Amino acid sequence: MGSATLLTTTLRRCRYRVGPIDFLRDPKAHTDYLVDFVVKRVELGRLPGAPVPSWQAASNRGDVFRGHRPKTLGRDLLPGGVTSNTVAADEQDHRTTSPAKAKTPRPFMHKRRPLTEESLIDAMAALVFEEVTLRFDFTREVCELVRDQVLTGNLDQYRVEGLAATSFNGVVKELHPAEFPDYAPDLISTDAGWLAGILLALRQRPGWIYGATEKIGARAIQIQQARYDGWVADRIDRSQHESLGA
């Protein structure tokens, strides 16, 4: 009777050609109509414990992540986005761990030259392009996660002691993850932890890592754009040569 009442209310407006008697004789033939009716008029809710699609889980993590940022960004920020607390902690660590008579460690090497801050940014940009941009296209997400880990003071979890490598390429290989997850949020977290661990292993401080990571991501994207522009130019040149040859 509930179905008949539902139909007669709608049939008065001439929206459906099948009458209540025809529906009762063969209700299975009109199931789609009833489903559409309910979906349009009833707000469906997820049952407790129902599985969440992967895209929604990733979106939920992003919402939590973005909701946490105003709490950290509300603190006293210096130019470049690094908090004064972070810089003060860096300076305190430098004073307590670097006595005047302490032996200066040997610099890491890259392409047979001492690794400078600028050459490190270029080397990291090339690494991010090859390992993150080309393979997964998560450059912005990975770099943003590293920067947020600096703001929240969670970089120490990526610090590895006792590395044997003395060069940039050696550190990269020594800290390379054993495998990369298939789930996008876990993949972004793994890549961000790898990159943060490399910068920490190369004796870079959190305040510097925060600003440098933005440059690293921007340069990786520039490399991608330059390669794409070169590919387009090459295609155009080939088309022109072929048309002239024809």
**Per-residue model confidence as pLDDT tens digits over 122-141:** 999 999 999 999 999 999 99
pLDDT of res. 91: 47
pLDDT at 88 over 90: no
Q: Is the pLDDT of residue 213 over 80?
A: yes
Which has more pLDDT, 203 or 42? 203
pLDDT the model gives residue 78: 44
Q: How far apart are CA 4 and CA 11, in angstroms?
A: 10
pLDDT of residue 29: 67
Give the pLDDT score at 243.
67
Query: What is the rounded CA–CA span in Å between residue 133 and residue 232?
Result: 19
Residue pair 7/23 in contact by the 8 Å Cβ criterion:
yes
For residue 77, the 8-state DSSP code is: B
Average pLDDT on 177-188 reads: 92
At 150 the pLDDT is 94
Contact between residue 76 and residue 83 where contact means Cβ atoms under 8 Å apart: yes
On whether the pTM is more than 0.75, the answer is: no
The pLDDT value recorded for residue 245 is: 61
Residue-by-residue DSSP string for 34-70: HHHHHHHHS---PPTTPPPPHHHHHHHHHHHHHHHHH
Residue 25 has a pLDDT of 73
- Give the pLDDT band (50/70/90) at residue 234: confident
Alpha carbon distance 116, 122 (integer Å): 10
Minimum mean pLDDT among 20-24, 126-130, 155-159, 203-207: which range?
A: 20-24
Q: What is the pLDDT, as a whole number, of residue 82?
A: 53
208 Cβ contact partners less than 8 Å away, ≥ 6 residues apart: 117
Lowest mean pLDDT among 22-36, 42-56, 82-96: 82-96
Residues 146-174 pLDDT 10s? 999 999 999 999 999 889 999 999 999 99
C-beta separation of 188 from 132 below 8 A: no
Residue 45's pLDDT is 66
